[in-house]
Amino acid sequence: MTQPILVTGGAGYIGSHTCVALIESGHTPLVLDNLCNSSSESLERVRRISGVRPGFVEGDVRDAALLDRVLAEQRPQAVIHFAGLKAVGESVQQPLEYYDNNVGGTVTLLQAMQRAGLRNLIFSSSATVYGDPASVPIREDFPRSATNPYGRSKLMIEDVLGDLYRADPAWRIARLRYFNPVGAHPSGLIGEDPRGVPNNLLPYITQVAVGRLSRLRIFGGDWPTPDGTGVRDFIHVMDLAEGHVAALRHLLAHEGMFTVNLGTGQGCSVLQMVQAFERCCGRGLPYEIVQRRAGDIAECWADPAQAQRLLNWKAVRDLDTICADAWRWQQANPAGYA
């Protein structure tokens, strides 16, 4: 029997798309998720896309006894650790929740892996660890900093993983720093389904387009950028998912720890994204430009050369594909998975 890949947080946005990419590359995902920000319907949709329903354990990564049982019974080959909380604003209001869930959850997971003799881990880090970068594109060796508890939890976990690897080089660890994941699987069956008013641009845009929200708010039109709106590195979620498969392939074949950016290397402004989406859905979107949001930065995009060199992976899907796929998902599922 093939050993599964344990995917914590696998019912969520990036996790469900990664399950599809894992299945397509011959792996067997086993999802552990407490469904605090997702629905198990996403896994049923993964089955409709791929023909395989991932194994599913409903539970929390902070539950050591559950982890011991799952690792002993299922003997996974590696863990891809997506589970965590990710809303920057909420992290400022509820810092302890974020440190408990993200940092505490990761330490509990690592301890259980150590007890089980399993030392292969891929971790979801974020471009947020670069803080407000001095220049773009951003390379992995740029200084790191945090402006909020969410970002600090990612920094702390990166450091925990670094310390663990130095103490025991038998660990194989990938720290993947995602830029701005957007879009959906081309089937329109899985996509991003945020609870409440979206924090991220693309679900906000698609919910305005589908009539769930009345108008888009763009935070800041006076940034020092070509059109005054913020510039980001929007990466198609299926490119990101395939980046995990490439990282897993590398991890299983090589000793060591590595840290790579997963981005496209292209900056795209918020207004450019709105215009691309308007082209895609064939009509204008109502929007207003409002005050900058605290903690936002002007520009952020990746130097993706390291991922290409090390993993032989690069993002291939363009902005039009991102918009078309996000729109297909939103139109087919106006209320998300509900």
Ligand X SMILES: NC(=O)c1ccc[n+]([C@@H]2O[C@H](COP(=O)([O-])OP(=O)(O)OC[C@H]3O[C@@H](n4cnc5c(N)ncnc54)[C@H](O)[C@@H]3O)[C@@H](O)[C@H]2O)c1
For residue 58, what are the β-bridge partners?
33
Tell me which H or E stretch contains 174.
Answer: strand 172-178
List the one residue from 3, 35, 272, 306 that touches ligand X (CB under 6 A): 35
List the one residue from 62, 75, 139, 292 that touches ligand X (CB under 6 A): 62
* Chain Cα centroid distance, residue 178: 6
Query: Per-residue x/- marks for ligand X, 127-166, CB under 6 A?
Result: ----------------------------------------
Question: Closest CB to ligand X among 67 and 164?
Answer: 67
82 binds ligand X per the rule CB under 6 A = yes
CB of 200 vs ligand X, minimal distance in Å: 6
84 binds ligand X per the rule CB under 6 A = yes
Structural tokens at position 264: 């496209």
Residue 130 catalytic? no
* Chain Cα centroid distance, residue 288: 28
């103490």: which residue's tokens? 167
Query: Per-residue x/- marks for ligand X, 86-115, CB under 6 A?
Result: x--------------x---x----------
Question: Closest CB to ligand X among 83 and 161?
Answer: 83
What is the DSSP secondary structure assignment for residue 145, as one 8-state letter?
A: B
CA dihedral of residues 103, 109, 110, 113 (deg, nearest 10): 180
Task: Give the range of 47-55, 84-92, 207-215, 290-298 binding ligand X by CB under 6 A.
Answer: 84-92
38 binds ligand X per the rule CB under 6 A = yes
Which residue has the CB atom at the shortest distance from ligand X?
12
124 binds ligand X per the rule CB under 6 A = yes
List the one residue from 5, 14, 208, 280 that touches ligand X (CB under 6 A): 14
188 binds ligand X per the rule CB under 6 A = no
d(CA 255, CA 137): 28
83 binds ligand X per the rule CB under 6 A = yes
What is the DSSP secondary structure assignment for residue 142, as one 8-state letter?
A: S
29 binds ligand X per the rule CB under 6 A = no
- The catalytic position among 13, 99, 130, 150 is 150
Q: Kindly list the distances between the CA atom of residue 200 and the CA atoms of 7, 124, 171, 232, 234, in Å, as whole numbers in the listed order.
A: 23, 17, 34, 12, 11
Taking alpha carbons only, the member of 309, 155, 194, 330 closest to residue 246 is: 309
What is the DSSP secondary structure assignment for residue 59, as one 8-state letter?
A: -
Sign for the pseudo-dihedral over CA of 45, 46, 47, 53:
negative
Task: Give the range of 3-11, 72-80, 139-147, 259-267 binding ligand X by CB under 6 A.
Answer: 3-11
Question: Closest CB to ligand X among 102 and 120?
Answer: 102
CB of 203 vs ligand X, minimal distance in Å: 10
CB of 198 vs ligand X, minimal distance in Å: 11
Going by their DSSP bridges, the two strands 268-269 and 231-232 should be labelled as antiparallel
**Is the peptide bond preceding residue 304 cis, with omega within 30 degrees of 0?**
no
CB of 84 vs ligand X, minimal distance in Å: 4
CB of 5 vs ligand X, minimal distance in Å: 15
329 binds ligand X per the rule CB under 6 A = no
What is the DSSP secondary structure assignment for residue 54, as one 8-state letter?
A: P
Helix and strand numbers, DSSP H then E, in the chain: 12, 13
Radius of gyration of the chain from Cα atoms?
Answer: 19
d(CA 183, CA 94): 29
Question: Closest CB to ligand X among 167 and 295?
Answer: 295
* Chain Cα centroid distance, residue 41: 19
302 binds ligand X per the rule CB under 6 A = no
């720093």: which residue's tokens? 177
15 binds ligand X per the rule CB under 6 A = yes
**Which residues are at the interface with ligand X (CB under 6 A)?**
8-9, 11-15, 33-38, 60-62, 82-86, 101, 105, 124, 126, 178, 181, 200
User: Could you give the residue numbers annotated as active site?
Assistant: 150
